[in-house]
Amino acid sequence: MYSAHRLQAHYLAASMTIQTPEELAGLQRVGKLVARVLDAMQRHAQPGMTTLSLDQYGRRLLEQAGARSAPELTYNFPGATCISVNEQLAHGVPGSYRLQHGDLVNVDVSAELDGFFGDTGGSFVLGTPTDAQRRVCVGAKAALQAALDQVRTGAPLRGIGAAIERTARAHGLQCVRNLGSHGVGRALHEEPEFIPGFDDPRERRRLHEGQVITIEPFLSTGGRWAHDGDDGWTLYGEPGHIAAQYEHTLVVTRDGPLLMTVP
């Protein structure tokens, strides 16, 4: 995700536009890898396991494929992946917390492989979800699909956020307004630096052919803002509310989005 948070404050690169089949193949390789690692981490997570142990499992999978953790490489983040639990929205630092039945967990996996970056994430519940957990996860997944449906060459960037906000309202949810999607490709964060995850009438940019971006709606049961925690990394939601996020890296084409982060 991209935010005003210092994690992304000084590392913005120019936008990547696919020029060759080799570039597309490179993005597909790293995209498939981070998607497989995300899926494996979700299946590996179990009550009693620390988030550090889960992160170390993800690290091994990345390193076995010859990839490097993108947040660690780019920002010296203290973990290979971001693992956020319950009231934590994003950038959760893996540590001593032991997962429990009923936890709402978000795992964000981004990596560099052969000079290309892929970025994906997803939320899941350990055990049987509550009604609120189910609603926020279903709504965030639906928002991602609605946003993907807006992607095509020449389409207004505003359409992505508008689709997310419409979906959020339909599910009785709020958009987290200071977290958004971003460009990616040759670096973890590229132009466009902030793709709003809500309907922003000031947004005038358009998508172009071959552009590489993420889409990652953050939907909450009530909070509209992410707040800094005490560790300098973790972002928290509003007290009493939970949130979910799902993310794909994609290439913009005339026929719609070409997803990179599929297993």
- Per the annotation, binding residues for substrate are 91, 189
* Cα distances (Å, whole numbers) of residue 68 to 37, 79, 121, 181, 188: 12, 11, 16, 21, 12
Cβ atoms 164, 147 nearer than 8 A? yes
Residues in the annotated binding site: 91, 108, 119, 182, 189, 216, 247
Residues 86/104, Cβ–Cβ less than 8 Å? yes
Extract the annotated binding site for a divalent metal cation: 108, 119, 182, 216, 247
Query: Which residues, other chains included, contact 126 with Cβ-Cβ below 8 Å and sequence gap of 6+?
Result: 45, 46, 47, 99, 100, 101, 102, 103, 105
What's CA 56's distance to the chain center, in Å? 19
3-state secondary structure of 17: strand
Beta-bridge partners for 113: 116
Cα 239 from Cα 143, distance rounded (Å): 23
